[in-house]
Copies of this chain bind each other. A is one copy, B any other.
């Protein structure tokens, strides 16, 4: 299991087309051209997006015959959730520590 670059995950999900792909794959696995159909872009463009999503552990693909089947992968989501949890506790602990005192230098 390769370590995941959280920056790439955010970057990947920053693009609306890639989020649309993730949406569809969350509902059901799909081939590349089936993903391309509703989005109005070329199959090539979709393949490029898939490479980005795969690189950061959000999607896993497998080619059988001439069809590449794409599925959601949890690793990227796990990394995301971890990042949020980390930051949340970081600042919530701070808020707990001092009632509402301001911080110095």
Contacts and interface: CB of A to CB of B under 8 A. Distances in A.
Interface of A: 6-7, 10-11, 13-14, 16, 19, 22-23, 25-29, 72, 74, 77, 80-81, 84, 87-88, 90-91, 94, 103
A87 B22 contact: yes
B28 A7 contact: no
Given A19-B7, A80-B80, A90 B26 contact: yes
Copies of this protein chain in the complex: 2
Contact of A103 (B7, B28, B74): B28
B91 A72 contact: yes
How would you classify the secondary structure of chain A's contact residues: helix, strand, loop or mixed? helix
B14 A103 contact: no
Contacts of A27: 90-91, 94
Contacts of A81: 81, 84
Contacts of A26: 87, 90-91, 94
A21 to B, nearest CB: 12
